[in-house]
Structure 1
Amino acid sequence: MDNSVLQDAILNGLISTQYQGNTLLGPQLLTNNQSSTIWQTLRHELLSCKNFTWSVAFITLDMLVPFKAVMADLAQQGVQGTIITSDYLNFNHPAMFEELQKIPNLTVRIADLNGFHTKGYLFDHGKYQTVIIGSANFTRSALLVNKEWNLKLSSRQEGSLFQQLTAELNAVKHESTVLTSEWIAEYRKNWQPPKTRVTQPEKLKPIEPNQMQQAALGQLSTLIKTGAKKGLVVSATGTGKTYLGAFAVNKYQPRRFLYVVHREQIAKKSLASFRRVIGGKKTDYGLLTGNRHDWNAKYLFATVQTLSQQAVLDKLKATEFDYILIDEAHRAAAPSYQRILNHFMPQFWLGMTATPERMDNQDVFKLFDYHLAYEIRLKDALAAKMLAPFHYVGVTDYEVDGEVITETSKLNQLIVSKRVNYVLNQLDYYGYCGDQPRGLVFCSRQAEAKELAVQFNAANHPAIALTNQSSSQERAKAVEQLEAGKIEYIITVDLFNEGVDIPSVNQIVMMRNTQSPIVFIQQLGRGLRKYPGKDFVTVIDFIGNYQHNYMIPLALNQDNSRSKDQARREVKVPTNFDVSTINFTKVAEEQILASLDKVKLDSMRELRQAYHDLANQLGRAPLLGDFYRYGSVDPRVFAQNSQLNHYGDFLEKMGTELKLTKYERQVLAFLTKELLNGKRPHELILLQCLLRGTCSIDAFKAELEQQNIRVTPAVLQSVDDILSLQFFNVKAGKQLKKDQYGGLPIIDHPDLLTYQLNSKIRAGLESDNDFKCLFTDVLTTGLEIAKQYDLKQAFTLYQQYDRKDVCRLLNWPLDVSAPLYGYRVAEDVCPIFITYHKDAEEKRNAIYNNQLQDGRSLRWYTRTPRHLSSDEVQRLLAGVKEGKPQVKLHLFVKQSDAVGKEFYYLGPAYVQPDSVREELVGPKKKAAVGMDLVLEQPLTPAMMNLLAI
């Protein structure tokens, strides 16, 4: 990096935005918002620095798990760091210092200074240094959600600011000592936690519905008022599902109430919760289990095993209860539950579940008349503070003879002592919240669980293995021992996916292949219940070389889109859910991406399953708009599927009979393949207007202006080119592309100033309900998708476009994407397409060595042979030397050819005039013109991570 890059960045930040400076290097105000957090910036700086020194007064345990994940990767690169902190105000917990000691590539120093309250983060990048100073301590709240202000600055070593900072850090270091175990022991002896405000004891507090429960109760009341007899509530594990049921029953005031659940232990706990909410005499509440038969209780809590017996049902009238609640309602398709559902006739059935999706394809929604009264999913529950936050870390599993564990690894490889030691070291490194670990370990085989328990015990980590052969008494005793702290781990094979409540669990350990997002969320949920003193749960996932690793980011993000691009983003730039974090070590990330590259997320099998899941929820065949509205498959996935011309094709594959003519199918194919992506809404808006009849050009322009959408003569002409199909008047295989879409213009012009749909489409819309339904579905869905884009501009920063999209959005009269390749110099614009990482060394970008490492500029070359005197080059560079370029450059980049046809739009770029020169490039040394391109908007850290720069 030369001095001009840093200089321009500083001038941009401190003098004027007219200087095209690099925002990654320039002065920047860091805050926490929806698009970024202070932690994301710190993480990016850590991963790109050569060493770092932090001087920060307060550090909390709850931020160390994601920090350790980064430090583990830095340790592999030999990167060291130093943190200077203190014992100021007794804020820092003794356990926090112990956890810092576990990080081998970190030196911790304790400042011996009164009133030490600094908050500064210095990163040495070799050629320059970056410092972040402001209000944020190294705490979870400060780095993820609080309103904090921090100033980020970059400087050379020779800079006055850096020298001042270095001098201050050296002074602080001089007044500090290296953290030792002896210091921690002495600190712990005298440490007292900061005083907190005394609150009313929990047992005296009246139970009131929280905000989300209030919303659910309102929806249930509305549903009942409509005359519905059944309703389903989907509520994430730990969100107060039982209390919500009690509030609902109390509001309904039934004559008699029945609660059905699959375990006596849960029935007893639910009874206590209901009594706490509803109140009344103790004799009003009773159990119907194998051990008790309180037949006359007003509020009866029954196990399904007892209630479903025919002799028991015979004693209870069909109308015995006017309100029945089925807990864990996803089980209700089982024969025992069906006997109960078929016997009773209450005024209202309420089903409650955390996981309505079923791996056995049973239709849970149908059992409750497709009435989804309310839904509280994991992300919403975390944001509403209803659950304990989690810190997930995906680490690579142990290597045996150079090979990472796979699904087919032999048992002796899974239980080899070196693997167990590796696992225990990772559990110790990432730690837990609390005085000791209380962990659930999920593994893949029963023999593995038993042997792991033996080795955990031998290593002084008391553990019990539970399998489906363990009795209910053995399971209950193990849970009791874990809660009492007599053991540290319960090791099981999918046994505790649901139906167990151990709020004190502070570690979830996954030592098995993820084969189902449903099971993954169930197991994650075992640790998310709130518990006194539990500020977070640590989730450690040992990721082997598994075929289904791609499911991990999908499960964590509850992503059903079937979009590979979305899944890659979730791995490369993990999302934070409020103060919960997702972290992958570098090797684990590579294993997930390798798995993702091998899978076809949008296969017909995957789409068929998604269709059935959503159809079960809706009680009818879903349309594209339903998939979008319910956060299921991204509708664009159907458009991109080579086996489908339009969504009607898919419906027919699902068994729906449609009456469509050949031409109607061609029109639907045009709408789906060309317009559904919403990247320009103009055509969709015009077609929607034309559903009502003719539309004048003035009325069309007025509609666009009212929606604050850009409209120019060139755009209007391009819309006409698209809807007349002239844009597609190019060869595609053996025929003109426009012929694939029926050959006829979609719109006619009765006169020069009016649009209308062509007569065949009008006739089809008037007489064919299937055609009209599918036609309007594409329009409405496309317009919803269009809301993702900046409709005032042709392109939206960091959105994805393929070459055909670019031709259309630049208002070119023809689709010239086929011969476009790397760039095309038009009259006043030139789109440039760059594949950042080429697989083959002889390929173009491997030869030309495009770089974006400073987040701002790269060296780019024309095609060969080209000279400075070439007409194309002259047009490209016209006005560049004078600072008035005549051709605007738009830069599009994708990571590699493996990610598909779409490129990320990185924004406009300009040529550095003094960088232009003719060079000989490639193995055959052919002439090309090279130049430095500079982005007007430097890349964000997230985009640099996504492109692996």
Structure 2
Amino acid sequence: MEHLISKIESSLHKGFIDQNKHVSAQFKPKLLTNKAHENVLSTLLQELKTCKTFTFSIAFITEGGLATLKTMLYDLEKKGIKGRILTSTFLSFNQPKMFKELLKLKNVEVRLTSVKGFHSKGYIFEHEDYYSLIVGSSNLTDSALKTNFEWNVFLTSLEEGEVIHHFKNQFEDAWHEGTLLTDEWIAAYAQNYIAAPFIKTNSSNIIEMRTEYLTNTLAESLTIKPNKMQNEALQQIKALRATGAKKGLIISATGTGKTFLSAFDVRNFQPKKMLFIVHREQILKKAMSDYRTILGGNEVDYGILSGNFKEVKARYLFATIQTISSERYLQQFVSNEFDYILIDEVHRAGAQSYQTIFNYFEPEFLLGMTATPERTDNFNIYELFDYNIAYEIRLQAALEEDMLCPFHYFGVTEYEKDGVIIDEVTELQKLVSHERVQHIIKKINYYGFSGDKVRGLMFCSSKEEARQLSDTLNEQGLKTCALTGDHSQNEREEAIKKLTSGELEYILTVDIFNEGIDIPFLNQIVMLRQTQSSIIFIQQLGRGLRKHDSKDYVTIIDFIGNYKNNYLIPIALSGDRSMNKDNVRRRTVNTDYIQGVSTISFEEIAKKRIFEAINNTNLSTLKILKETYSELKNRLGKIPSLLDFMHQESLDPEVIVNYSDNYYSFLIKMKEELPSLTTYELKTLSMFSLELLNGKRIHEILLIDILLKNGSITKCEFIKLVKNFGTYLEEETIQSVENILSLNFFVTVAREKYGNKPLIVLDNDYYKFSDEIAQSLKNENYKKFIEDIIGCALEKNKHYDSTQPFTIYKKYSRKDVCRLLNWESNAEGTLNGGHVKSNTCPIFVNYHKVEDDATVHYMDEFLSNEVFKWCSTKNRKITAKDIAPIVKSDSENTTVHLFVKKHNGEGKDFYYLGNVKVDESSAINDHLIDKGKAYNVVTMNMILEHPVEYNMYHYLVEE
């Protein structure tokens, strides 16, 4: 306790007296605001996750605000953690439906205060030995927690602190005088509720009034103006045509207004005759309506060519691909009949019907539109449009531009019975069993929806599941129907009408609603199947992303079973196509890449299943790599360079070279025909690729880069170059660079793998390439590969702190650490325990060890996010020659570095957690039991210079 008091006193000193005082970040007072990748919500979730109980005193609460906390509150309920919320009816801000959502929180007691003018915004958390408090401007709304300009102070206090004491007393007084929230209270409140004028409501009357107003306004306006995105796109399309291009491709996330964008461009182009092609008649009617809104003109100017309509003489013709590609109708048009042709959902263009259109018509300009140009059949959509991407905006950018309806995604736990979890081969009878249906109903009720009534889509794994599950849900009182590819267009349209009117609550389907259907009022998407591909995942999520007055956000509920493809979920949500497992894990733990008020949350068990899938899946199989490689090659229309992969945010070049040692060998596996390289050249390519491409130290990269440009450089000039770059520099580092590039650092096997000859020599104080490398560089093909590697290394180094050898939370192997600590040779085989050398000591910890015949469960443990208890290897005592220097490291000025990985499934690399100070007084001789036998070990506490941040800490600690 005395240590805790001291830390809090020091933190208050820093916060209110001297900002330069070095203290623990855990208790430091700070201002919480909403900035990029940092918001009030993240701190709120951190405090909830680690507290014993919590108390909120909040005036204004919205359903969206509650949605950001629901997964965390669900996990806390499972752990028996309870809390209280005190709120109000001040200004009629809080809506009746929100109070119903509060009642769903079984571990939270809610009361309504009778205090007049109640406007408080305080969050208090009780921890084991202290309290933390967030107080300021943020109400419990998703915008206040993520995007609004807010000021909140975060403070830490002991129970006897005056501020916390005063807060608790005030809260308790108001709490005891408050009214318990009940169904009866909500019913009475709803009966008399009148929303404040500034509060958005979901009343259908309001929607109709707004629609009527907009219609009248549009009629009075001469034109409708494009939004920011559409303006940018129109300028780029115009610039493309100015180059003489006849074709262009628009890549735009679902819901961003591709149809309106194309109509604006048609208005600019003013064609004599235009053709708009889609794959379903239902879409035609909506597209034609949108075009009339933008283009105006007479009704006779517009026509449909489909199975039911044959209005072929219209100036603006909207046709289904099935009809216009048929010989009977195609021959009614001359090849240049249309000077402007648009093809919607153009990723389908590999089909013969589309090819017929491409081969027959000769328009002045052809525009293709799609949200997902990537293809699993390797058909090259980009080639069809001469590789002209006129404009591109993906999901993350569209959310950032506020073009889409925000979403709250919940990765929830699938049904489990007797330890058996739903998986790919689960029998149909279990998928539609009463128990699973009850589980589904419980989850969709808990996570809810925005709006007056639920209007949802459920994606199932098969037609039969959709049909039987619909029947079973109906038996439980829900109003659902199943729609599959077996149903006619009229049946689909009728179901959508019923969903609109409220006669239906859910449509259950397999994949017919993945694309090309516009149901803006959808407020809940339920995924009851494994993720087959990131493309389909985004298509299905995108069904709910169109903005609509009836909703503030869309709820995405993804039931995560024991599926092998679970690793695709964070890939799809983040858009990260690197196939780097560490990136995928981080995208699961840290979801701050989602812009705006949208959030991504995983229940703890669901999150574990994703981690299991990541660990058990090889993301660098030939099949996966070939698909991703082909996709980028198709996009660029050429063999991509490694740097292209980085610029296009595709495969991580490290994944490529770890698979094939070097990019040349990888391209050979991709069946590319390349000029041959010698065995020595291939070996040196491997060395540059495997040792330097990762960008973990800039010094070697700068030297190779300057030699490629100038041929030589003096040692003095090189040192000046390094200093000008702004990185750290010591004589030992220069010597280390020489050891690496002479291959002296490496063990015999590695030297042989890398060519067994120096790559760089120091001749009369000049650095030069060796004669062998200089000769090889005369081969332009070889030189391009080296330049490509160095280009990637320079890019990757931008993500590292070049002012010091290691960067917090970056990953390093034991070999990397030997190199970056300037050791003269690779001693990775000696680094199982601590190893003190040249006043440095790296500590490597595999946190969750698998207990089997080969592994002992050591007592390594985080005592908090800033204190780590380290356990030595077996048969050690404090006096041992390799342990004593670690124990006395602080007094002997030895720098101790801590590297931790979650478990062996993460591979050879460890997260760098920074320098630690060993608490000498904590070191004790201890013992552990392995197979019934006791072994001597030493344990000691290490104080981290930088307490581990929230997401990383919980990722490492939780099993």
Structure 2 length normalisation: TM-score?
Answer: 0.94
Partner amino acid, structure 2, of 1:202: L
Match of 1:743 among 750, 753, 756: 756
Partner amino acid, structure 2, of 1:601: L
Contact residue 24 and residue 941 of structure 1 kept, 8 A: no
| Secondary structure class of the residue paired with 2:255 | coil
Measured at CA, do residues 35 and 701 of structure 1 come closer, stay the same or move farther in structure 2, by a change above 3 Å? farther
Q: Cα deviations across residues 121-158 of structure 1 (Å, max 9, x unaligned)? A: 11122322222111111110111112222222222323
User: What does 1:537-548 align with in structure 2 at a 5 Å threshold?
Assistant: 537-548=554-565
Match of 1:904 in 2: 911
**Is the counterpart of residue 944 in structure 1 residue 953 in structure 2?**
yes
Contact residue 859 and residue 930 of structure 1 kept, 8 A: yes
Partner amino acid, structure 1, of 2:11: N
Give distance in 1, aligned partners of 2:564 and 2:142. 34
Give distance in 2, aligned partners of 1:18 and 1:432. 47
Deviation at 1:803, TM superposition (A): 0.9
Give distance in 2, aligned partners of 1:282 and 1:621. 49
**Is the counterpart of residue 230 in structure 1 residue 230 in structure 2?**
no
Deviation at 1:928, TM superposition (A): 4.8
Farther off after superposition, 466-475 or 367-376: 367-376
Q: Cα deviations across residues 188-235 of structure 1 (Å, max 9, x unaligned)? A: 222222213999932325422222222222222222222222211111
Partner amino acid, structure 1, of 2:745: F
Match of 1:852 among 845, 862, 871: 862
Give distance in 1, aligned partners of 2:609 and 2:872. 36
| Secondary structure class of the residue paired with 1:512 | coil
**Is the counterpart of residue 304 in structure 1 residue 315 in structure 2?**
no
Match of 1:802 among 801, 804, 813: 813
Match of 2:637 among 615, 619, 638: 619
Contact residue 831 and residue 844 of structure 2 kept, 8 A: no
Contact residue 248 and residue 368 of structure 2 kept, 8 A: yes
| Secondary structure class of the residue paired with 1:947 | helix
| Secondary structure class of the residue paired with 1:609 | helix
Give distance in 1, aligned partners of 2:852 and 2:441. 42
Match of 2:732 among 704, 714, 723: 714
| Secondary structure class of the residue paired with 2:458 | strand
Deviation at 1:647, TM superposition (A): 1.0
For this pair of structures, how many residues does the alignment match? 935
Give distance in 2, aligned partners of 1:688 and 1:189. 74
Q: Cα deviations across residues 356-375 of structure 1 (Å, max 9, x unaligned)? A: 11222222112112222221
Match of 2:202 in 1: none
Match of 2:82 in 1: 80
Match of 1:790 among 781, 785, 801: 801
Partner amino acid, structure 1, of 2:90: Y
Match of 1:648 in 2: 664
Match of 1:456 in 2: 473
Give distance in 1, aligned partners of 2:418 and 2:752. 58
Give distance in 2, aligned partners of 1:436 and 1:265. 25
Q: Which runs of 5+ in 1 are unaligned?
A: none
Give distance in 2, aligned partners of 1:873 and 1:594. 35
Deviation at 1:671, TM superposition (A): 0.7
Contact residue 503 and residue 527 of structure 1 kept, 8 A: yes
Contact residue 573 and residue 946 of structure 1 kept, 8 A: no
Measured at CA, do residues 333 and 880 of structure 1 come closer, stay the same or move farther in structure 2, by a change above 3 Å? closer
Measured at CA, do residues 177 and 229 of structure 1 come closer, stay the same or move farther in structure 2, by a change above 3 Å? same
Deviation at 1:279, TM superposition (A): 2.9
Give distance in 1, aligned partners of 2:368 and 2:352. 16
Contact residue 800 and residue 905 of structure 1 kept, 8 A: yes
Q: Cα deviations across residues 807-834 of structure 1 (Å, max 9, x unaligned)? A: 1111111111122223220122111111
Farther off after superposition, 447-456 or 201-210: 201-210
Give distance in 2, aligned partners of 1:546 and 1:875. 48
**Is the counterpart of residue 201 in structure 1 residue 201 in structure 2?**
no
Contact residue 282 and residue 489 of structure 2 kept, 8 A: no
Deviation at 1:918, TM superposition (A): 4.3
**Is the counterpart of residue 318 in structure 1 residue 328 in structure 2?**
no
| Secondary structure class of the residue paired with 1:99 | helix
Give distance in 1, aligned partners of 2:73 and 2:922. 39
| Secondary structure class of the residue paired with 1:480 | helix
Match of 2:836 among 822, 825, 836: 825
Q: Cα deviations across residues 847-891 of structure 1 (Å, max 9, x unaligned)? A: 3x222232111222444545554444454455734xxx4211111
Partner amino acid, structure 1, of 2:802: L
Match of 2:424 among 407, 432, 439: 407
Deviation at 1:305, TM superposition (A): 1.7
Match of 1:660 in 2: 677
Deviation at 1:491, TM superposition (A): 0.8
User: What does 1:436-585 align with in structure 2 at a 5 Å threshold?
Assistant: 436-575=453-592, 576-585=594-603
Measured at CA, do residues 10 and 244 of structure 1 come closer, stay the same or move farther in structure 2, by a change above 3 Å? farther
State the identity %: 43
Q: Cα deviations across residues 481-521 of structure 1 (Å, max 9, x unaligned)? A: 11122211111111211111100000101111211111111
Q: Which runs of 5+ in 2 are unaligned?
A: 200-208
Partner amino acid, structure 2, of 1:758: S
Contact residue 480 and residue 506 of structure 2 kept, 8 A: yes
Give distance in 2, aligned partners of 1:12 and 1:806. 33
Deviation at 1:14, TM superposition (A): 2.4
Match of 2:781 among 765, 770, 789: 770
Give distance in 2, aligned partners of 1:4 and 1:841. 38
Match of 1:152 in 2: 154
User: What does 1:131-210 align with in structure 2 at a 5 Å threshold?
Assistant: 131-196=133-198, 201-203=213-215, 204-205=217-218, 206-210=223-227
Contact residue 834 and residue 882 of structure 2 kept, 8 A: no
Give distance in 2, aligned partners of 1:853 and 1:19. 24
**Is the counterpart of residue 337 in structure 1 residue 378 in structure 2?**
no
Q: Cα deviations across residues 47-85 of structure 1 (Å, max 9, x unaligned)? A: 222211111111111122232211211121111111010
Give distance in 2, aligned partners of 1:612 and 1:573. 30
| Secondary structure class of the residue paired with 1:201 | helix
User: What does 1:210-359 align with in structure 2 at a 5 Å threshold?
Assistant: 210-359=227-376
Measured at CA, do residues 104 and 811 of structure 1 come closer, stay the same or move farther in structure 2, by a change above 3 Å? same
Q: Cα deviations across residues 748-792 of structure 1 (Å, max 9, x unaligned)? A: 22321x2121222222222x2321221111111111111111111
Give distance in 2, aligned partners of 1:842 and 1:614. 45
Contact residue 916 and residue 943 of structure 2 kept, 8 A: yes
**Is the counterpart of residue 100 in structure 1 residue 102 in structure 2?**
yes
Q: Cα deviations across residues 371-410 of structure 1 (Å, max 9, x unaligned)? A: 2222111111111111101111111122234412122121
Contact residue 254 and residue 322 of structure 1 kept, 8 A: yes
Contact residue 5 and residue 22 of structure 1 kept, 8 A: no
Measured at CA, do residues 948 and 929 of structure 1 come closer, stay the same or move farther in structure 2, by a change above 3 Å? closer
Q: Cα deviations across residues 530-574 of structure 1 (Å, max 9, x unaligned)? A: 111311001111122222222112111122111111121222233
Deviation at 1:109, TM superposition (A): 0.6
| Secondary structure class of the residue paired with 1:486 | coil
Measured at CA, do residues 917 and 511 of structure 1 come closer, stay the same or move farther in structure 2, by a change above 3 Å? closer
Match of 2:205 in 1: none
Farther off after superposition, 549-558 or 519-528: 549-558
Partner amino acid, structure 1, of 2:604: K
User: What does 1:678-757 align with in structure 2 at a 5 Å threshold?
Assistant: 678-692=695-709, 693-728=711-746, 730-731=747-748, 735=749, 737-752=750-765, 754-757=766-769
Give distance in 1, aligned partners of 2:950 and 2:8. 16
